[in-house]
Structure 1
């Protein structure tokens, strides 16, 4: 829908500034704000609510003191941000990383708002994190950290309020501790307070590989519309955890050649295609791809110039700069990570005719199966993995089709189209709910 003069003016107004953060020029929060500004002209009368998208509803900063194994006491800083709850309870992961900041968590929570709405899930967006290097903590210290953090944010989470999940450096064990701590504090077992739990505690089959499967499904749909066969394609993958590793496994099983992989330990290249099963076994034994005997090692920056047809950034945000966007030979970018592409890189990709399948649809497999888990916990009726994968395929396929059609109709990028679909849903809910009081 074409914007009126007044809404167009609103769309071009300066991005808002929040007094409690001071983001860097290439920060995730500013990347998100730039993405919102690009979509506002396509929202018609709903653009009057656009400022809603630029401000988190609630941001909680907590002190997390724990007793270390040596008897000392250390303090860690934790966050939980609820960006928007217009369409349902908050939903988003918790990451443990030494570089976690409030503005990063704000951006991640905002992308969850967009992601959930783009897929059509009945959630708002939320995210959490603790600034910590988890590898430096013992198992018991990690448990104490998790339980104290859960108690501190317990005032705003709950099965109908805000549902955390795993993210960077967190897993099913972390979720089990969070669920148990919350349950003890409310006096009743509350399996639905988190997703990504172990199967015996109400977890869902298919959840661990769901995000990587979503990258494969949306990538398959994009390539089909471009007229490309997966068989024989050359693919480079950054990040080889649950997301990148699963996506690589599924593409390789369909006949693609995974020619380069990069993770926190280094970069490996094999022109004829890596043996993904052997690489996964190597990573399991050694903690990373470095030293894999079936490939050549390379400088990390060389990864961006590897000859490939498809590039899958599945690590952290901000990896694709304008310079790297100019270097890549890929024709399709599948964003397995959250916010891996800076706005300037988006412009380079557009000028080069490179298709970007944005994170808010490409990596939505994880939150979709988290939704399945949440539903199964409430009903106490659990589905088999084939059923879950079929449902995931259908939901992501339909969501991608809607975004692709919007992109074609409005002649905008897939990212802006995904934001257009999502923001229309969020702001329509905001308008219909009204303001109270």
Structure 2
């Protein structure tokens, strides 16, 4: 079966165009906001452990910086492409605007398979890539963060590399760092905690009680795995989970702490004894109350949207639903909390980390979680109010809010020279 894998950048532009049309943006404003501001492509050598030198390609794209410095993660994956990075940078612009934090959107990536590389090779690749993009990044210009297949250790290498060039420590150049070098309490759980907050808000709106909700989560990494634990703790019954090795289903509920331990010990969920093994495709169509795609783009498409069997979708991943699928879900009355709102907890706590680094003054975890919850609830309510006012769905409500905020900043600043 051919899957309608949409070019992620075309998807991002199509979503923007619809919002721009509804907002009545001028042709000039549409032209400015459709295009990334800067795109850097770097090709660089890395010495491998066997002495060979391999060439790698990396990207850093800044979509828009009219509301503040560029902000966005760095991913290491064989699937990285310029169009994917462009799309993710554009989504970051809207994401930061939706939650009202003073950043523009950026994204970075290196085409590589870190699972086939040693730690020493990943370190050399990271440091060389950081050096190549150092002409763009900086605490006042562009602040990267972790993304797919990157973690606090990779962020530490980038921070150290940048600091070596400067001759002094610059912790605010990157977020998602270990606590020992200026990381923030609560950062590791932030995206998943934001997902939990908006999920509970949406459930309340729809008169769904957490303890009566069956939840299915695609993806069991930093976002999906922690979201599963937090929703399990909130009383939800998590009946389906999956990772790259496949999916698990248990209609009576999966013991999430046990599954987490199993995954850690066995390098994946495959073989977990207390659930039936299913494919990732089957997982998405399980009957449930809440479905949380927390893996990759293009998961809910025109091919499977009619089979989705849920009341509420919380997009923990970026771009998991194609526009064609969106239209089908809308028609079927399935509520979708969009990615640019649902997974904005990570960038919100990244913002807190950056502020703490700049001030050299750090907050306790309970204060960070309290501030995060306040921003996520406020943002969800603002998106819901905009959607109701414009008689549209939550995705368009979020886009109308975000695009209007970025357009206003762009308009006020004007066109230079």
TM-score by length of 1: 0.93
Name the residue aligned to 2:117: 137
1:332-379 Cα distance to aligned partner (Å, 9 max, x none): 000000000000000011000000000000000000000000000011
Displacement of 1:34: 1.0
- The answer for the alignment partner of 1:213 in structure 2 is 193
CA distance 1:25–1:313, change in 2 (3 Å): closer
Distance 1:394 1:300 in 2: 34
Equivalent in the alignment of 2:289: 309
Instruction: Select the residue among 156, 162, 165 that pairs with 2:136.
Output: 156
| Partner SS, residue 304 of structure 2 | helix
Contact 2:76 2:113 in 1 (8 A): yes
Residue in structure 2 matching 1:420, options 397, 400, 407: 400
**1:113 corresponding residue in structure 2:** 93
Q: Which residues in structure 2 correspond to 1:26-425 (within 5 Å)?
A: 26-45=6-25, 48-425=28-405
Distance 1:25 1:268 in 2: 24
Tell me, in whole angstroms, the C-alpha distance in 1 between the residues paired with 2:345 and 2:159: 22
Aligned partners of 1:245 and 1:400: how far apart in 2?
22
Contact kept, 8 Å, 2:210 with 2:236, in 1: the verdict is yes
Q: Residue 303 of structure 2 aligns to a residue in which SS?
A: helix
CA deviation profile, 1:31-81 (whole Å, cap 9, x unmatched):
101101211123235564112221000000001211111111001100000
CA distance in 2, matches of 1:162, 1:408: 35
RMSD: 1.1
CA distance in 1 between partners of 2:122 and 2:10 (Å): 32
Greater shift in the superposed pair: 413-422 or 25-34: 25-34
Unaligned runs of 5+ residues in structure 1 are 1-23
Distance 1:91 1:164 in 2: 6
Q: Which runs of 5 or more residues in structure 2 are unaligned?
A: none
- The answer to whether the 8 A contact 1:365-1:396 is kept is yes
- What is the alpha-carbon distance in structure 2 between the residues aligned to residue 56 and residue 135 of structure 1? 30
Question: How far does residue 222 in structure 1 lie from its aligned partner after superposition?
Answer: 1.1
C-alpha displacement of 1:231: 1.1
CA distance in 1, matches of 2:382, 2:210: 22
> Post-superposition shift, 1:301?
2.3
Partner Cα separation in structure 2 for residue 329 and residue 100 of structure 1: 31
Secondary structure, aligned partner of 2:66: coil
In structure 2, the residue matched to 1:9 is none
In the alignment, the residues of structure 1 paired with residue 206 and residue 215 of structure 2 have an alpha-carbon distance, to the nearest angstrom, of 16
Are 2:5 and 2:298, in contact at CA under 8 Å, matched by a contact in 1?
no
**1:18 maps to what in 2?**
none
Conservation of the 8 A alpha-carbon contact between 2:48 and 2:54 = yes
CA distance in 1, matches of 2:399, 2:118: 41
After TM superposition, the score normalised by the length of structure 2 is 0.98
Deviation, 1:124, is 0.2
Give yes or no for contact 1:262–1:300 (8 Å, CA) kept in 2: yes
Using the alignment, how far apart are the partners of 2:332 and 2:5 within structure 1? 24
Runs ≥4 in structure 1, deviation > 3 angstroms? 44-48
Q: Provide the C-alpha distance between the structure 2 equivalents of 1:369 and 1:220, rounded to a whole number of angstroms.
A: 19
Q: Distance in 2 between matches of 1:224 and 1:329?
A: 20
8 A Cα contact 1:41 1:47, kept in partner? no
Contact residue 146 and residue 152 of structure 2 kept, 8 A: yes
Deviation at 1:28, TM superposition (A): 0.6
Q: Secondary structure at the match of 2:42?
A: strand
User: 2:218, 2:280 within 8 Å by CA — same for their partners in 1?
Assistant: no
Report Cα offsets for 1:251-294 as digits up to 9, x if no partner: 11111111111110111100100000000001111121111111
